[in-house]
């Protein structure tokens, strides 16, 4: 920026642009604002990744959002990691060997943090549902045994009624769990399983749409609904590709005289070739190559 502002070969307008940008980037207010935003974005990024995790339950999401809100409230009093570096830079008058000049902050840090906190609070999961299933989270239990005896039993009773399971048995199983550490109650297991199916975010739906767009492409538009549904189910819920033994299926596919995925021509098979335009595989190494180096070809054939 400094070289651009001093370059006489440039027009006055461009030199003034460089000079203005240089003045903006080297002011203390910009460094302070940037540090505050970076601290907040770091916390929001961590929260977003946790909420997108498939194993994150509604209870986990509520706990993570509350913890993030508490961290942002703490930033009002104690500066974050980036803010500490910015304050040190202001004391010496330079940031990463770049001289700084004093200026006012454009972002009111306290108001900015409060706006983020209010936004997160408004995005909290359903408060009624969260309140009912919160007792199933051991981290929410009180420490003293006296307070623990009747803790959460009303919520468990309401949850059992909602799921149409025996409410009295649910309360007894829950009481046996929290007081005797016995988690083997049949109704309790149903409640725990049900509490994990409530989605914390729309990430799973978005993940499903992404898989659909990657599967039903313009080049693969002849899949029937049944086949497309099966492929999507495997892609979304199936194990990773590394755990799939592809060789038996490739051999079965070739024995039925289908075209090779590496065939250079399409259309009717050449019966004299045995397995289509590509001819029969010359060795098991060919099958190994087809299954490992080109796993995408299997999808093109309908697997």
Q: Check: pTM over 0.85? Answer yes or no.
A: no
Q: What is the mean pLDDT of each run of 10 residues along the chain (303 residues)?
A: 78 84 83 90 93 83 90 92 87 82 80 92 77 88 90 92 92 92 90 84 84 86 87 84 84 81 57 47 47 46 41
CB 113 within 8 A of CB 72: yes
Confidence at residue 293, expressed as pLDDT on a 0 to 100 scale: 44
DSSP state of 54: T
CA 53 to CA 51: how far, in whole Å?
5
Per-residue pLDDT of 183-194, as tens digits, reads 889 999 999 988
Contacts with 136 (C-beta within 8 Å, 6 or more apart), sequence order: 59, 152, 156, 174, 191, 192, 195
The CA angle 45-204-132, to the nearest 5 degrees, is 85
CB 290 within 8 A of CB 297: yes
Q: What is the pLDDT of residues 265-283, one digit of tens each?
A: 555 555 554 444 444 444 4
Express each pLDDT in 82-109 by its tens digit.
Answer: 888 888 888 888 888 888 888 776 778 8
pLDDT of residue 104: 76
Residue-level pLDDT at 263: 64
Residue with tokens 């590496």: 262
The whole-number pLDDT of residue 264 equals 63
């Amino acid at each position: 920026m400094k070289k651009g502002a001093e370059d006489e070969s440039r027009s006055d307008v461009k030199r003034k642009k460089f000079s203005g940008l240089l003045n903006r980037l080297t002011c203390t207010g910009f460094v302070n604002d940037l540090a505050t935003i970076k601290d907040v974005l770091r916390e929001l990024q961590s929260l977003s990744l946790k909420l997108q995790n498939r194993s994150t339950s509604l209870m986990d999401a509520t706990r993570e959002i509350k913890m993030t809100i508490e961290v942002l409230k703490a930033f009002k009093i104690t500066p974050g990691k980036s803010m500490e570096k910015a304050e040190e830079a202001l004391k010496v008058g330079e940031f990463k060997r770049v001289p700084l000049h004093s200026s006012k902050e454009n972002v009111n840090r306290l108001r900015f943090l409060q706006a983020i906190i209010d936004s997160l609070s408004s995005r909290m999961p359903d408060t009624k549902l969260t309140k009912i299933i919160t007792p199933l989270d051991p981290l929410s239990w009180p420490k003293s045994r006296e307070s623990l005896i009747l803790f959460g039993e009303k919520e468990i009773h309401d949850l059992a009624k909602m799921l149409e399971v025996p409410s009295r048995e649910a309360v007894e199983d829950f009481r046996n769990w929290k007081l005797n550490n016995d988690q083997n109650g049949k109704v309790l297991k149903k409640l725990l399983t049900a509490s994990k199916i409530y989605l914390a975010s729309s990430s799973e739906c978005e993940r499903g749409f992404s898989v659909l767009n990657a599967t039903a492409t313009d080049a693969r538009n002849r899949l029937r609904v049944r086949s497309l549904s099966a492929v999507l189910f495997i892609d979304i819920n199936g194990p990773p590709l590394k755990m799939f033994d592809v060789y038996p299926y490739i051999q079965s596919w070739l024995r039925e005289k289908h075209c090779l995925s590496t065939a250079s021509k399409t259309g009717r098979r050449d019966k004299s070739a045995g397995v289509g335009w590509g001819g029969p595989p010359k060795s098991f190494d060919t099958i190994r190559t087809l299954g490992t180096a080109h796993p995408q070809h299997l999808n093109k054939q309908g697997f």
